[in-house]
């Protein structure tokens, strides 16, 4: 006989929900976004380290150094320092927002119900989901190109397909991504654990290939592309903000993964081991490879897929492309599909299960890349480049997501004191439908960011959007909550 009321038990700091009919029959609950059981939390620090290596070693990371030197006017040394420092900084919201996922086994959209309301959580969820779908499309474009080049190295006739071959490769890679995620979290853990050592090996191999053809002294001595005599501070901070923005998305939805961690120690150490150094080293590799490309293949090439495509040996091209396909797959599945899958389910858990949410994610990503795919098929002509869209996003979306990160941290650690009503997060009678404190604290920094775009005096508010947004959002949320007559702290029933 099914019990009426849910019960929460605690095992060595990890909370588990024994769901009763009050939760099972709730419109806010389904099996896929339910809290993980303690025995399902099997990821240790090395699994989480592998997760971050798998997500960090990707084509966009490879091009970060070039983005900072070309678009932000930094020297190579300044660019690499900005990348390292940004990833140390972003560890703070990553590890803090992971705490609730590890303790309660809940995904990102369910945690947001505490700070934005049970229904209101859908607004920041959809903002996060749309960005992830865009990145899913961009990464799938890179993966599809790798499949196209792989098939072209194996079958001579494939090369003649040109852009049509790239579109076919896109659809093949698109299908492969969705298949991995549909198989569940253990499938993703297996993929990341397998790919991490392979990705480290291919990075070292590329470095050995490039080093004889580049002078590090000359590379570091290249003058910056900014006005002569201009202060480095403004350019560096703008670049730093953009690099923080690179993982601004994961700093929000890290509970989607930390809900599978064995302990807080595992999630903390795994992220420290896996993120900053991997990002720095692979971005450094991209700078070195781009500088060496002129001697290696006769033309300067800024992305590894195109660079390897210039190699004359079909065997080496096929081998390298296979590894790039694995690298892009490991990044895309974890970083860009898991979150929107959970976010879309949060809209209507009883109507949208994981399978439907994964397919919805895939279709939105496909639609967002429709323009680029039509260009490759020769059906439209356009000068809009994927690289321009990618670089402009870094600042733009980090400005929107910063306040959400600040609100989440303040809500969990300062307002709720790390105590949530686990069953109440899946019902309508504990947390409000809309938490207007969260929306005010989110809306004010966003409005100020948009207004700053038209003001030279306040342009810094946009340029440093993630920092200004997260700080102001967190402070406003704390102030609004403190103005209540009684603090909103809910104890977990044990």
Looking at residue 488, its pLDDT comes to 45
Looking at residue 396, its pLDDT comes to 63
| Within-domain flag for 435 | no
| Within-domain flag for 37 | no
Crossing angle of helices 465-482 and 436-452, rounded to 10°: 150
Looking at residue 387, its pLDDT comes to 57
| Within-domain flag for 389 | no
- The H-assigned helical ranges of 348-385 are 354-368, 370-376
| Within-domain flag for 429 | no
- The owner of tokens 């949208």 is 352
Give the residue ranges of the chain where pLDDT is below 70: 1-3, 384-399, 485-494
CATH label of the domain that carries residue 119: 1.10.4160.10
Looking at residue 422, its pLDDT comes to 97
Question: What are 116-134's pLDDT values in tens digits?
Answer: 999 999 999 998 998 888 8
Looking at residue 494, its pLDDT comes to 44
Burial class of residue 4 (count of CB atoms within 10 Å of its CB; 0-12, 13-18, 19+):
exposed
User: Whole domain around residue 332: which residue ranges?
Assistant: 42-381
- For residue 32, the SS3 value is coil
| Within-domain flag for 428 | no
Instruction: Please give the backbone phi and psi of residue 94, each rounded to the nearest 5 degrees, phi first.
Output: -60, -50
- The H-assigned helical ranges of 72-184 are 76-89, 91-104, 108-116, 122-154, 163-182
Q: Which pTM does this prediction carry?
A: 0.88
Question: What are 258-299's pLDDT values in tens digits?
Answer: 999 999 999 999 999 999 999 999 999 888 888 888 787 777
Looking at residue 383, its pLDDT comes to 74
Crossing angle of helices 276-297 and 45-56, rounded to 10°: 30
| Within-domain flag for 31 | no
Cβ neighbour number for residue 421 with a 10 Å cutoff: 20
| Within-domain flag for 471 | no
Looking at residue 453, its pLDDT comes to 75
Cβ neighbour number for residue 18 with a 10 Å cutoff: 13
Dihedral, CA of residue 94, residue 99, residue 104 and residue 105, to nearest 10: 40
Looking at residue 487, its pLDDT comes to 44
| Within-domain flag for 217 | yes
- For residue 40, the SS3 value is helix
Looking at residue 65, its pLDDT comes to 85
- The pair of structure tokens assigned to 452 is 């700053």
What is the rounded distance in angstroms from the CA atom of residue 332 to the CA atom of residue 345? Answer: 19
- The number of domains in the chain is 1
């Amino acid at each position: 006989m099914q019990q009426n009321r849910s019960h929460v038990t605690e095992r060595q700091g990890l909370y588990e929900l024994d769901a009763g009919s009050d939760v099972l029959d709730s419109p806010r609950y389904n099996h896929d976004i339910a809290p993980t059981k303690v025995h399902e939390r099997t990821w240790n620090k090395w699994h989480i380290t592998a997760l971050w290596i798998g997500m960090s070693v990707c084509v966009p990371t490879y091009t970060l150094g070039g983005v900072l030197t070309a678009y932000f006017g930094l020297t190579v040394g300044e660019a690499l320092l900005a990348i390292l420092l940004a990833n140390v900084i972003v560890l703070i919201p990553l590890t803090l927002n992971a705490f609730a996922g590890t303790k309660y086994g809940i995904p990102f959209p369910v945690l947001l119900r505490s700070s934005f309301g049970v229904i209101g959580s859908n607004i920041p969820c959809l903002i996060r989901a749309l960005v992830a779908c865009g990145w899913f499309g961009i990464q799938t474009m890179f993966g599809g190109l790798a499949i196209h080049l792989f098939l072209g190295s194996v079958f001579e006739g494939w090369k003649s397909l040109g852009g049509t071959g790239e579109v076919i490769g896109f659809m093949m890679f698109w299908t492969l991504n969705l298949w991995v995620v549909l198989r569940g979290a253990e499938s993703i853990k297996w993929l990341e654990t397998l790919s991490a050592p392979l990705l480290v090996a291919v990075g070292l191999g590329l470095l050995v290939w490039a080093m004889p053809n580049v002078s590090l002294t000359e590379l570091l001595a290249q003058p910056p592309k900014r006005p002569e005599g201009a202060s480095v501070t403004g350019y560096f901070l703008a670049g730093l903000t953009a690099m923080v923005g690179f993982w601004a998305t994961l700093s929000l939805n890290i509970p989607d993964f930390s809900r599978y961690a064995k302990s807080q120690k595992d999630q903390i150490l795994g992220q420290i081991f896996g993120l900053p150094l991997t990002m720095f080293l692979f971005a450094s590799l991209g700078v070195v490879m781009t500088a060496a490309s002129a001697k290696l293949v006769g033309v300067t090439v800024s992305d590894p897929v195109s660079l390897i495509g210039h190699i004359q040996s079909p065997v080496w091209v096929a081998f390298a492309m296979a590894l790039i396909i694995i690298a892009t797959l490991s990044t895309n599945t974890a970083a860009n599909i898991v979150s929107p899958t959970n976010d879309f389910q949060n809209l209507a858990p009883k109507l949208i299960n994981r399978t439907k949410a994964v397919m919805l994610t895939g279709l939105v990503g496909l639609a967002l890349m429709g323009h680029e795919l039509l260009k490759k098929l020769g059906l439209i002509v356009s000068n809009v480049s994927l690289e321009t869209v990618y670089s402009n996003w870094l600042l733009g979306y980090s400005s929107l997501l910063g306040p959400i990160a600040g609100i989440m941290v303040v809500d969990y650690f300062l307002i709720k004191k790390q105590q949530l009503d686990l069953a109440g997060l899946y019902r309508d009678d504990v947390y409000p439908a809309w938490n207007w404190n969260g929306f005010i604290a989110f809306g004010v920094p966003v409005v100020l960011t948009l207004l700053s775009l038209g003001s030279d005096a306040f342009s810094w508010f946009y340029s440093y959007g993630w920092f200004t947004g997260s700080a102001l959002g967190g402070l406003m949320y704390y102030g609004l909550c403190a103005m209540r007559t009684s603090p909103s702290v809910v104890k977990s029933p044990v």
